[in-house]
Structure 1
Amino acid sequence: MSDKHNRRRRAARAVIGLVALVVGVLGLAAPASAAPPAAPTVSAGYGHTCAIPANGSLWCWGGNFSGVLGDGSTVSNRNSPVRIGDATTWASIDAGTVHNCATRTDGSLWCWGSNFRGQLGDGSTTSRNVPVRVGTATNWANVSAADSHTCAVRTDGTLWCWGFNRSGQLGTGPASYYETAPVRVDTATNWASVTTGFAHTCATRTDGTLWCWGDSTRGQLGVGILSYRATPTQVGTATTWQDVSAGYAFACATRTDGTLWCWGENGYGQLGANITYQTTPAQVGTATTWTGVNAGDNSACAARTDGSLWCWGNNMAAQLGDGTTVNRYAPTRVGTATTWTNDVAMNYHSCGVRADRSLWCWGNNDNGQLGDGTTTQRSAPAQLTLG
């Protein structure tokens, strides 16, 4: 689940639709933190996957608890991709544990699946088995879905969150236990991207600063505390943060100098080093060629400028794609391909897009979330065709 936004917000307002189309179709990674975010076209929930191919259609497969597949049903798992509706204007997708949110090229935002804590943002706590529009706004730029809360950035640089707020993960203060519709986070108008963990949230601003809030009992906010913050708190003083991605109780981010940093819980090696939990960002190795990072539940994957893909952390379901089920405390290369993009998603299974727009999945497959027609776990990437 990670994003980047615009170097000049004014220019982005004019081109955001075109950028979303180009990035989604080509699988391109956006440049430094000030540029529009690379729209993710594949996303992995706990037991399901959704993806948007080059034609702008939407497909989901795997477990269907609470109607998370969006095909109008709530009972049957799908071990092959199922198309959701007939629209061809989907731009980006992000999967939470059992809900999804997606943007369209017209800037509208849609969510579906579990809604127990209002995480769909439609003003109710009713689960939905088809996409339901969130309000009437047409300027949504990027969205991140977590376990029970969701946050999104608009093209005017404002940040909005909704859903569960027990740990302050909405960033709106401790007053509300949950919100069923988007609530604005502070008054800043230079938010660039947002990422949601289980009960914490992090976001970048167009000035390259990084901010986190919510649960930090394992150091996952990166601000040096083991407690909570109910409003955005800046992570250090650096102004070179490029993108950030939150996992269950940790987060990882890259900087514009190509370095990679992680913090929070490290029980499975998800910080990319054999260290204890970290309450502030710790650099992962010495490489300066990282282009983006995507955190899963207790694992992470990141691409480098040479197109190689590296994963680390929990590997109990072969979600690291290295042919084993051994946990890794340092980035481990996934095969030998040199065409991976930053469009990679993971949970207990992983899927990624290569430069030729091909889709590959691996890891846990108990609910058919690899989409290959089976429920057989895979320890290495296997190509999947949509449509």
Structure 2
Amino acid sequence: MEDTRTYVDSSSLSRKVVSIAAGEAHTLALAGDGSVYSWGRGTFGRLGTGSEVDRLFPAKVEFNFNGRNEKMKIVGMSAGSYHSLALSDDGSVWSWGHNNYGQLGVNGENSLVPSLVEGFHGINPTDGSITKSETQLKISSVKAGGNMSLAIDDLGSLWIWGNCPPQDTSNEGEEFSLLTTYNPMPVWHFHGQTVVKVACGNEHILALVSSGETHKGSDLVCYSWGNNNHGQLGLGDTDIRAVPEMIEIFNTESPWAAYELACGAFHSAILACKKEDDDSVKSVCWTFGLGDNGQLGQGTTKKALHPEMVRSLRVNEWLVSVDCGLFHTSVVSSVGDVWSWGMENGLGLCTEVSKGGDALTPRVISCNGQNGSKFSDPIQVACGAAHTVLLADNGYKLWSWGRGRSGVLGNGQVNDFFDPNLVLWPPLHQDFEKNEPETISVKSSDKTYAEKSSKDVTEIEKNLDIIENYASVLHGSVFGKHFDNAKDIPVSLTSSGSFDIGKVWDDMLESCDYDTLVRLEMFYHNMLEGVKDKIMKRKIKE
């Protein structure tokens, strides 16, 4: 008799991260199954978890549509300073967190949970007015920065709300001031063009826009507008721009084609490529704006009014991602090299005790793993105010470093880390869950055992990977460095197969330097306080 049973593996997509975002002190991760996770500082409800409590580990964000807690697939998300945005696969936009400037798209209080953003209606082609209709335009991407929010609809129009630059020229020449807008408004200047990508800082915006009505793939030009007190618009001066203006080095006639944008508080970074005569492609990073802490990577602390190439970066590698924090910048290449520059050795930290000063040129951020200093299969880098997160291993590992207050690094600690440490991913509630078998069509009953055995081996390997991940997170929390299988497994275990924990503990304490002992004491203290807190809460409940 033919066995036609099918099995579905529901865990692979939920364990894979497809994109990340970092706010002032919170981090977001989007999983392949459409789920959003957040961790870090909970003030103003920026985590979307229903409270203002800090989260030291990734926590799932629940989306409630019209009072029904339906499964919603999120396909995009972004983090501002104190608020967050998410984009659903149906084209709807959701927001949560701080709302003093209308950055949530509603005229109301802060929101501790995701709420639907409305107001994306059609634009009248004759006079540019908004045409009210029962159905809203579908949004294709969202971007948050500072206290403002932006969205691009399916027609290629750009929308903006929150603490925004004014959209008229009447106040040019006057002192710059942002306008509070609670409802999404279209950016009129790009009517008849297609906006492809945007980035925004505290008070300025960059956009990649098609030169014609439709995007043809190689016709993008770069615009900037907003405050320009440090030259962060890259237009050669410090004059404000109320309307978008093209950055000439990235116009249609330029050999350089911009493909990625990033904005810090008062500086900007652009990734651009140039096709050479031998058909090779050169990928470089350009920076401009405030340079006080070396965040431009140009070897000085001077501001740059025009885009300048970061020449000390290797040009024979494709740069896949760039992001800017308040005062630092990070870039990652396709082969796993990560560079950072700016405040406090490129970490963005504002520490009382210096750990090496500001990095005026790119410094390599080392993985110290099996691949040496390189990170395997990197995808994206995201910079918060003073922390950095890297998505690597084709989406299955997250690394973080920098300021650790409020648990923003996602490793269970609130300490600063000067080297990359693993984020506790996948989240605790997913670990060692009994997953349904992978999708298999079994046509013969005598194959059942073989299929089951193969499945068991796969599950064992998957669980061993999870155990290794947790061991590395715990090791990093205590010792401040990544777990190295070759060096950090106790000799008593590798040589005899038995583990004398008492002897290993004594040997470890004996070999620890002073800084490690202090870190160990802090880790033990935090763990003990957590246990005491749980005991007290249970006593109160009883």
TM-score, length of structure 1 as denominator length: 0.83
Structure 2 match to 1:292 = 321
* Aligned counterpart for 1:382 among listed residues 406, 410, 421: 421
Confirm or deny: 8 A CA contact 1:56 1:89 kept in the other structure: yes
Residue 345 of structure 1 corresponds to 382
Alignment pair present for 1:236 and 2:248: yes
1:185-213 deviations in whole A, cap 9, x for unaligned?
02143111110101101110132210010
Paired residues of 2:325 and 2:348 also in contact (CA < 8 A): no
2:340 to 288, 311, 335: 311
1:156 deviation in Å?
Answer: 1.3
Q: Deviations over 1:308-342 (max 9, x none)?
A: 1111111379458xx95532111111111242534
Residues 131 and 58 of structure 1: is their aligned pair in 2 closer, same or farther, counting only changes over 3 Å?
same
Residues 219, 340 of structure 1: CA spacing in aligned structure 2 closer, same or farther, 3 A cutoff?
Answer: farther
Q: Greater helix percent: which structure?
A: 2
The answer for the alignment partner of 1:96 in structure 2 is 80
Cα gap change, 1:368 to 1:25, in 2 (>3 Å): closer
Work out the CA distance in 1 between the residues paired with 2:145 and 2:76.
Answer: 15
The amino acid across from 2:299 in the alignment is: N
The Cα shift of 1:82 comes to 1.4
Answer whether contact 1:106 1:138 (CA < 8 A) is retained: no
**In 2, Cα distance between the equivalents of 1:324 and 1:106?**
47
1:118 matched to 2:126: no
CA offset digits 1:195-235 (Å, max 9, x no partner): 01011011101322100100000000001121211111111
- Once residues 345 and 359 of structure 2 are traced to their aligned partners in structure 1, the CA distance between those partners, rounded to angstroms, is 10
Aligned residue in 2 for 1:131: 114
Q: What secondary structure sits across from 1:130 in the alignment?
A: strand
CA radius of gyration, larger in: 2
Report SS of the residue matched to 1:315. Answer: helix
Match of 2:146 in 1: 147
Report deviation, 1:274: 2.0
Give 2:41's match in structure 1, choosing from 41, 46, 63. Answer: 63
The CA deviation string for residues 91-122 of structure 1, in whole angstroms up to 9 with x for no partner, is: 22211110011112222211110010111113
Of Structure 1 and Structure 2, the greater strand share is in 1
Aligned residues: 345
Q: Deviations over 1:135-189 (max 9, x none)?
A: 1646322222112111121221111111113xx2x65666882111111002143
Give me the identity figure in percent.
Answer: 26
The alpha carbon displacement at 1:26 in A equals 7.0
Q: Could you list the runs of 5+ residues in structure 1 that have no partner in the other structure?
A: 1-21, 28-40
Higher relative contact order (CA 8 A, sep 6+): 1
Alignment-mate amino acid for residue 180 of structure 2: Y
Are 1:328 and 2:328 counterparts? Answer: no
Given that 1:172 and 1:183 are in contact with CA atoms closer than 8 Å, whether structure 2 keeps it comes out as no
Q: What is the correspondence of 1:1-387 to structure 2 with a 5 Å cutoff?
A: 27=18, 41-74=19-52, 76-85=53-62, 87=71, 89-122=73-106, 124-135=107-118, 137=136, 139-165=138-164, 168=165, 171=167, 177-186=179-188, 187-206=191-210, 207-238=219-250, 239=252, 240-257=257-274, 258-275=283-300, 276-285=302-311, 287-288=314-315, 289=317, 290-315=319-344, 318-319=347-348, 326-335=357-366, 336-339=373-376, 341-347=378-384, 348-357=386-395, 358-384=397-423, 385-387=425-427
Tell me the SS of whatever aligns to 2:31.
coil
Deviating above 4 A after TM superposition, structure 1's stretches of 4 or more consecutive aligned residues are: 24-27, 170-176
CA RMSD of aligned residues (A): 2.4
Amino acid of the structure 2 residue aligned with 1:337: K
**1:220 corresponds to which letter in structure 2?**
Q
**CA contact 2:321–2:381 (8 Å) conserved in 1:** no
Cα distance change on mapping 1:261 and 1:237 into 2, 3 Å = closer
CA distance in 2, matches of 1:105, 1:52: 13
Change (3 A) 1:356 1:291: closer
CA distance in 2, matches of 1:160, 1:340: 34
